[in-house]
Chain A
Amino acid sequence: MPTNPFNQSEIQAALGGRFGLDCEIGIGGQGVVYKAERRRTPNGQLTQDDVALKVHSDPGQDERIERELRVMEGMRHPNLANLLEHGVLTLANCAYRYAAWEFIRGEALDRRITQGPIPQRVVCAIGRDVARAIDHLWTNERIVHRDVNPKNIMVRIGDREAVLIDLGIAKHLTQTPITAPMITWGTAGYFSPEQARAEQNLTAASDVFSLAITLQEALLGRHPTGRNQNALLGGGPATSGLMPTAAAALASLIDSMYAVRAAFRPTARNVAEEFAQLALIL
């Protein structure tokens, strides 16, 4: 388990008291996330925003983080976490990147899954929303998220909406790759076959594949292959086999999303449209 290298009150002071830090809500290899209240904007305007304040602890990831933040700066979409501000703070003579993201009231899908299978109607709504986010990233910015999995999906309270978070390893096609050849990034157990092969020129179809596995996990309440990536090299397991009670239309849509050849997968836009219809009838 990673430990928190930061002191909460030192962060508050380093940010000039503009943020009131409430509690730690997440910790990982990249940094620590706090629930906080933003009281003033960088240009001094009074405000009262609930934010997820992420302080990045690994300076080696600076370029990657900078890239994510720059891309997200002007982006607004209901199914993507909005970036409110970002910058650098100094703690004990060391510079750390921070970013204040819209705080999403709800819980991460992975936590939700630990409580058991999720109803089909809700799975359809999650599929619709995340596919819309994937489509938005791809169509407008040619960004591939590359790490679509339950940890990176927040479900708002009341199952109203799902939000795709954390573009830390997203690949922007117009930028040169940070990733070295033959090295892939993401989360094993959700890689598309082409991502697992460390292909450099991925498309949104790779995220569509990862979303299919994520949705199977949500339906089942467990990962469909126990996170065995090798079992996904030939595509995912048939949804109807994993869950015979799944609606045929839902199973068929999910199954089309993990086709081995990317060209055989529906586009994120089509996926979003189909889930939207299914969410209405299931």
Chain B
Amino acid sequence: MFYHNTKFRFALAEGSPPLQGGIIAASAMPGDQLVRRVRAGFRQYPYLQHRLFDPQLYLSGLDKHIAGKTVVNLATQPWFASSEVPAYDSAEHGSIKNYKEKYADALLQSWRGKPFETADTIQTGVRACIQYQLELGCEGIILPSPLTTVASRSYEEETRWLDIGVSVVRELRLSLPVYATVALSDGVLRGVNALKNPLIATITDQIASRDELAGAYVVVEQTTESGYACNSKDVLLALLVISDDLSRGAGRRVIVNYIGTFGAVMSGAGTAIWASGYYRSQRRLRLTDYEETMGLAQPRLFSLGLVGDVGLEEDLPVAFAKGFGARLLKPTSDQSVPLLQALAAGTYPLSTPQWAYRSNNLTAATAHYLSINDRIANSLDTFELARRRDFVLRWLRNAASLAEQLSDLKMRPPITDSGHQSVWLSAFTDWVEARC
């Protein structure tokens, strides 16, 4: 299933398909504001009837001096900090902007820059986090976990958070599915063959051995990734191994976020839900992204055949002229049909202003991205696992071959994603050969 990595973007771009669900991030807005929006009703966002909430405890190391905006939102949540700041009340505080301005200093002051450490504070935080998700009406509970940055600590601190979460779940007698957050820095994955990485085996063992858990919510912080698509074979293989261990091995559900269309690849290894969105910050988790001001985005065309985006300004017309149009543009969406026609007629971009290469001209590109990813997810969901695996393997082989052919045309990375396909294929092939 494909979910929208909603973060704070509740409204989908015009023309987007009816998605299956969404994942809202703790950093989206102050906690009370989100509750009020949910209470006011999410009728205008039907996909959010199936919603999950990511507590994002893995962001607890953000530097308040350079990621102040995000920290102010996160610090309103009691699993990050305990402050005396009152809950937002529009009657008392006026706009949320006024509220943030008034209390920003106090919230920043309360920011610890690291997760809670004592059993009491962890328990208070975890309990509040679970109750908050119940209040939001989430379809499942995601237990918070700190970011794993040191492999040699044997996952003991994360296990501590997990067990406190499990004890609260037992006490509250929850009937909703409960997921453990697995938040890994790519530093603990790079340079180690994931098939033999003891940390991965420990993590999946810890989750599989707790009957209270329905599965895991998995995110990888890509410290060193500069593009839209993850390019580290170790990281990708680790994700496949985690997915396989937990789904085929332990019969649990895996939800993955912030890894773009590799989530669809992971569904070939049993992942049940993958979330993404058009923007880079929805496809990739990198702490420094929260510390930088993003520039304006330019539209790119997502190509299922390439499992990546193609630059519109020069790359796509060149590739089309060389006969790659069908392989890049099919399957089409409602948004991309006019683009294909315009390219064929030689009238692009004049006849299709919605695809013109212009800052923030993103509506068509976003709706197209969501349509195609939703469609591939729905198709894969109809296959049983072995067929899904075969499909993914063929898909990645074709994508790697297409990327290689396009490289002769001197596509311009990072405007066109042309480097990761062979890495994705290699990771998937290694996993299939070792485990299937």
Binding site for B on A (CB under 8 A): 138-139, 142, 173-174, 194, 197, 199-205, 259, 261-265, 267, 269
Contact = CB atoms under 8 A, between A and B. Distances in A.
B179 to A, nearest CB: 15
B253 to A, nearest CB: 13
Interface in B249-264: 249-250
Contacts of A173: 159, 163
Contacts of B206: 201, 203
Nearest to B163: A142
B163 A262 contact: no
Contacts of A263: 201, 204-205, 207-208, 245-246, 249-250
A203 B204 CA distance: 11
B341 interface: no
A194 B248 CA distance: 20
B154 A262 contact: no
Interface residues of B, number: 21
Contacts of A200: 154, 156
Given A199-B154, A200-B154, A201-B154, A262 B159 contact: no
B198 interface: yes
Nearest to B250: A263
A199 B249 contact: no
Interface of B: 154-156, 159-160, 163, 198, 201-202, 204-209, 211, 245-246, 248-250
Nearest to A201: B154
Interface of B is mostly: helix
B245 A261 contact: yes
B212 to A, nearest CB: 9
A268 to B, nearest CB: 8
Nearest to A197: B198
A200 B155 CA distance: 9
17 contacts: A173-B163, A194-B205, A199-B154, A201-B155, A201-B159, A203-B205, A203-B208, A205-B205, A259-B249, A261-B245, A262-B204, A263-B205, A263-B250, A264-B245, A265-B208, A267-B209, A269-B211
A12 to B, nearest CB: 43
A139 B163 CA distance: 10
B245 A267 contact: no
Contacts of A264: 245, 248-250
Contacts of A138: 209
B155 A262 contact: no
Contacts of A261: 201, 204-205, 245, 249
Contacts of A174: 160, 163
A265 B246 CA distance: 11
Nearest to B212: A139
A271 to B, nearest CB: 12
A205 B249 CA distance: 12
B249 A204 contact: no
B198 A199 contact: yes
Given A263-B204, A267-B208, 12 more contacts: A139-B211, A173-B159, A173-B163, A194-B202, A197-B198, A201-B155, A261-B201, A263-B245, A263-B249, A263-B250, A264-B248, A267-B211
Contact of B201 (A142, A194, A267, A269): A194
A259 B163 CA distance: 25
